[in-house]
Amino acid sequence: MKMLGRRGILAPRLQPDKNVGPTEAQKGCKMNRKKSIKLFDRAMASIPGGVNSPVRAFGAVGGVPPFIARGEGPYLFDADGNRYIDYVMSWGPLILGHAHPDVIEAIERAARKGASFGAPTEGEIVLAEMVKEAFPSVEKVRLVSSGTEAAMSALRLARGHTGRDKIIKFDGGYHGHSDGLLVKAGSGAATFGVPSSPGVPTDYARNTITVPYNDLDAVRSVTKKYSGEIAAIIVEPVAGNMGVVAPASGFLEGLRSVCDDIGAVLIFDEVITGFRIAKGGAQEKYGIRADITCLGKILGGGMPLGAYGGRAEIMDKISPQGPVYQAGTLSGNPVAVAAGIATLKAISKRGFYKALESKAQKLEVALAAAAKSSRVNITINRVGSMMTAFFSGSPVRNYADAASSDTALFKKWFHAMLDRGIYLAPSAFEAAFLSASHEDSHIEITVSAAREVFGEVKSL
Ligand SMILES: *Cc1c(COP(=O)(O)O)cnc(C)c1O
């Protein structure tokens, strides 16, 4: 370990900024990000907030996001040529790392035959069969182009299937940005939802009831109150969008039995967890069967692809077989499907998940030790190769716990790590993802950067 302590030897090369004095936007930024700063200014003039998805703008941490030029394995390279070890991995999809040769080759080969046909192809069947094999609860599956579409369509189907309107979701659960899912709790622990974004009709949000994650009693009391009205419970079986929060023992089993009791559809949103915490996602890991499963992220290997699938009896209610309408010009896109097939082939290799998890565990243990020796309070939640280090001294079991972590400390940590070439998600409430391309050496570099930062972070 002796060669790891000195920053600058194994740590990615840093280029101190000599020519531009620290502007407000650059505060705390030691790298040269002149080109990113220029690009961000230019983007602002043509793209709302300069980005095509909000969290990329660094709103929660301040400063200017690096504009990315390319990725390779565990590395990102920005427009100024800075190299980072990446733990965002495109927010989860890149379980094989950036620009994996098998995936890129599959994309190239498919693209040469045409980018889209709007007609059925064999690849779609192959991918559907692979999904069914990984998820035994999925008897039929429909491909869409994003996780948002998958969750939105799964809910429409659940409502069409049950003839009921209300759904239950969990505080801090994210299921994409469709209207009925952009809802937070009103006052009280379990109540009719109120829109959490302008533009979402109150009437629509009223059909979404939110309860705290891991709180089975709250679920039971809601289902009692609205008996006969609940179409579905939608849940991230391991929460990933409030930071990583594992399901408490008995929680997922409890949801399964509540749904069975009241005739509601249990929807597992495995957009992150599917092919992440096991090939068969949370359902394989915890041994629970969902009625409908939502997939995305890893499924497309970095291309826009999502899916929802489940029991044939339910899935056959989708148009054209049944009356519940759902469609897509680019659904089952041949290039995205090819990337998905190549990715699922690679993760099917024997020992893939064991190797991935052991690296994640190594990172977890070393980070916890580094924080402890600097007397920084962190709680690391990890499930498989997804994890979050909350700046909190207490356990994090739901959104309220997560929200009470120290976000000011997180900001300092985030920027100090970024300046050392470690690219983490720019929000305290996101997961870090390991990929097969992260090696022990990358983890050691990361931990040695973390050790420095924990040492400094309290006094920054
Ligand atoms: C990312 C995510 C979505 C939305 O997927 P998009 O492809 O961004 O639309 C839905 N559910 C969960 C659990 C997610 O993490």
What H or E segment, with its residue span, contains residue 337?
helix 334-347
* Boundary residue ending a domain (297, 313, 347): 347
pLDDT score of 449: 97
* Boundary residue ending a domain (282, 313, 347): 347
Residues 325 and 358 in one domain: no
Residues 122 and 209 in one domain: yes
pLDDT score of 198: 87
pLDDT score of 194: 76
For this structure, is 269 an active site residue? yes
For CA atoms 134, 137, 142, 147, the dihedral sign is negative
Residues 365 and 341 in one domain: no
C-beta of 174 in contact with ligand 1 (< 6 A): yes
For this structure, is 297 an active site residue? yes
3-state helix, strand, coil in the chain (%, to 5): 40, 15, 45
- 3-class DSSP state of 387: strand
- For residue 300, give the DSSP letter: G
**How many folded domains does the chain comprise?**
2
Residues 452 and 330 in one domain: no
pLDDT score of 11: 33
Render 51-116 in DSSP notation, one character per residue: SSSGGGG-TTT-S-PPPEEEEEBTEEEETT--EEEESSGGGTT-TT-BT-HHHHHHHHHHHHT-S-
For this structure, is 174 an active site residue? yes
pLDDT score of 223: 96
Residues 227 and 122 in one domain: yes
Residues 185 and 321 in one domain: yes
Residues 45 and 34 in one domain: yes
| pLDDT tens per residue across span 130-158 | 999 999 999 999 999 999 999 999 999 99
Closest residue CA from atom 8 of ligand 1: 147
Question: CATH code at 173?
Answer: 3.40.640.10
Residues 237 and 145 in one domain: yes
pLDDT score of 191: 55
pLDDT score of 22: 37
C-beta of 270 in contact with ligand 1 (< 6 A): no
- Given 140, 169, 297, 412, which residue is catalytic? 297
Please state whether beta strands 183-185 and 191-195 pair in parallel, antiparallel, or not at all (unpaired): antiparallel
Taking 50 as the pLDDT cut, the residues of the chain under it are 1-28, 187-190
| pTM for the model | 0.92
Residues 314 and 384 in one domain: no
* Boundary residue ending a domain (347, 371, 397): 347
Residues 326 and 390 in one domain: no
Residues 271 and 364 in one domain: no
Question: CATH code at 50?
Answer: 3.90.1150.10
Residues 362 and 321 in one domain: no
Q: How many angstroms does the Cα of residue 269 sit away from the middle of ligand 1? A: 8
Domain that holds residue 40: 2-98+350-459
